[in-house]
């Protein structure tokens, strides 16, 4: 398994502002998946980020709202832009690890509260 860290672990933000979440993995991975978990809900895939190419967004998520960077094979960021209270969620990154039954492990998550 991979060691995955996220920063910040939690934050409280004002509406209209933006927050950038960092995800660091201890090994090189081709793909990084970003998920959102709204309060009391399951995980929803936001986007898939490959190093060296633009991220692919799922239906209902757009690049202007959730820009993603993937500068190298161990690091990625997700920005939540122009936040509203509806963006209050846990955001999780998950590296796509080849082999090992294609198991996905998850970062500890960033708990975001928007006031």
Q: Which residues bind another protein (CB under 8 A)?
A: 30-31, 33, 41-45, 48, 92, 94, 96, 98, 101-109
Cis, peptide link before residue 8, omega less than 30° from 0: yes
CB of 39 to another protein, least distance (A): 12
Please choose, from the candidates 55, 74, 53, 76, the residue with its C-alpha nearest in 3D space to the C-alpha of residue 64: 55
CB of 82 to another protein, least distance (A): 25
Nearer to another protein, 31 or 78 (CB): 31
CB of 81 to another protein, least distance (A): 22
Q: Under a CB-based contact definition with an 8 Å cutoff, are residues 2 and 95 in contact?
A: yes
Largest Cα separation within the chain, whole Å, is 42
**Both structure tokens of 51:** 């190093």
Nearer to another protein, 21 or 109 (CB): 109
């Amino acid at each position: 398994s991979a060691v995955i860290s996220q920063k910040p672990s939690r934050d409280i933000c004002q509406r209209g502002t933006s927050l950038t979440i960092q995800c660091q993995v201890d090994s090189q991975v081709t793909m990084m998946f970003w998920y959102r978990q709204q309060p009391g809900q399951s995980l929803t895939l936001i986007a898939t980020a490959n190093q060296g190419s633009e991220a692919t967004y799922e239906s209902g998520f757009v690049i202007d709202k959730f820009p993603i960077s993937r500068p190298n094979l161990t690091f990625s960021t997700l920005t939540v832009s122009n936040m509203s209270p509806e963006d209050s969620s846990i955001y999780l990154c998950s590296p796509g690890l080849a082999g090992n039954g294609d198991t996905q492990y998850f970062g500890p998550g960033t708990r975001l509260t928007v006031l």
